[in-house]
Amino acid sequence: MASVYLYAVSYDLGFAPNPFGGLCTLACCKPNIRAKAQADDWVIGMTGVKTKPALRCVFAMVVSGATTFDDYWTAPEYQSRRPVRNGTPKKLVGDNIYHRDSRASPWLQENSVHSKLDGTQCPLNTAHDTRINRVLLSDLFVYFGASAPAMPQAIRDAIGYSKNSRDYRRFDAAKVKPLLDWLEPQVVAQRNKVLAPPIDFVSSSKRYSPTLQRMI
């Protein structure tokens, strides 16, 4: 049975997830979800405490596969997802940021949202992200961004989801059928579309500080 992973999107930059170019990827953040989610599972991001009002659906994706950081970096079809920090907002938030000189070498981190302010490697973000060497891929998703709709109260009541947990919650798909019945027609009708810019797109040039736990 498919699983459904719900989590709170702390900052919606278009970085995690990255929904651009007809593909939705989760390459950074949420290592526990990246470790466990399998093909046909759902990953759904909701607004939380840092992105009010809460319990709006930022994106919903069905996992179609996964790859490693090494293969994500080298595969030609993903090279457009590498960050360009003097580029457009979409390029600023590229999530293809980790690679190694060899499989036994330390991870290198590209100048990106998860780097230090001067663009050099941030060891804390690197350690957190690469704890799980896995990137989730989806070619069946909808990204609402700034047009994120509120989860209807009736659905929240039906699935017992009154607030976002600290990390994420996993449900069996059958247990959250009302939620999927609400989202699935929207995913099918607007497949792989970015319906609005990310909520925090104006902050795309900023960096995430793991010590301060905020964008700077």
Name the band, by pLDDT with cuts 50, 70 and 90, for residue 130. Answer: very high
Query: Is 65 part of any domain?
Result: yes
Name the band, by pLDDT with cuts 50, 70 and 90, for residue 52. Answer: confident
Mean of pLDDT over the chain: 96
Q: Do 67 and 135 contact (CB within 8 A), yes or no?
A: yes
Span 43-58, average pLDDT:
90
- Indicate which CATH number applies to the domain containing 138: 3.10.590
The SS3 call for residue 131 is coil
The SS3 call for residue 82 is coil
The SS3 call for residue 186 is helix
Residue 177 CA to residue 74 CA, distance in Å, equals 38
Partnered with residue 141 across adjacent β-strands are 61
Span 100-125, average pLDDT:
97
Q: Provide the pLDDT for residue 49.
A: 77
Query: Is 160 part of any domain?
Result: yes
Query: Is 126 part of any domain?
Result: no
Query: Is 117 part of any domain?
Result: no
Span 176-183, average pLDDT:
98
Q: Which domain holds residue 31?
A: 3-69+131-215
Asked if the model's pLDDT at residue 139 lies above 90, the reply is yes
Query: Is 165 part of any domain?
Result: yes
Query: Is 113 part of any domain?
Result: no
How many domains does the chain contain in total?
1
| pTM score above 0.95 | yes
**Three-state SS letters, the chain:** CCEEEEEEECCCCCCCCECHHHCEEECCCCHHHHHHCCCCCEEEEEECCCCCCCCEEEEEEECCEEECHHHHHHCHHHHHHCCCCCCCHHHHCCCCCEECCCCCCCCEECCCCCCCCCCCCCHHHHHHHHCCCCEEEECCEEECHHHCCECCHHHHHHHCCCCCCCCEEEEEHHHHHHHHHHHHHHHHHCCCEECCCCCCHHHCCCCEECCCCEEC
Span 62-82, average pLDDT:
98
Query: Is 90 part of any domain?
Result: no
Distance of CA 2 to the CA centre of its chain: 19
Asked if the model's pLDDT at residue 163 lies above 80, the reply is no
Lowest mean pLDDT among 37-41, 53-57, 92-96, 152-156: 53-57
Query: Is 122 part of any domain?
Result: no
Lowest mean pLDDT among 52-56, 190-194, 196-200, 206-210: 52-56
For residue 32, give the H/E element and its range.
Answer: helix 31-36
Name the band, by pLDDT with cuts 50, 70 and 90, for residue 165. Answer: low
Pairing of the two strands 65-67 and 135-138: antiparallel
Q: Provide the pLDDT for residue 215.
A: 97
Side-chain-side CA neighbours of 73 within 13 Å: the count stands at: 16
Better pLDDT: 51 or 17: 17
Asked if the model's pLDDT at residue 8 lies above 80, the reply is yes
Asked if the model's pLDDT at residue 89 lies above 90, the reply is yes
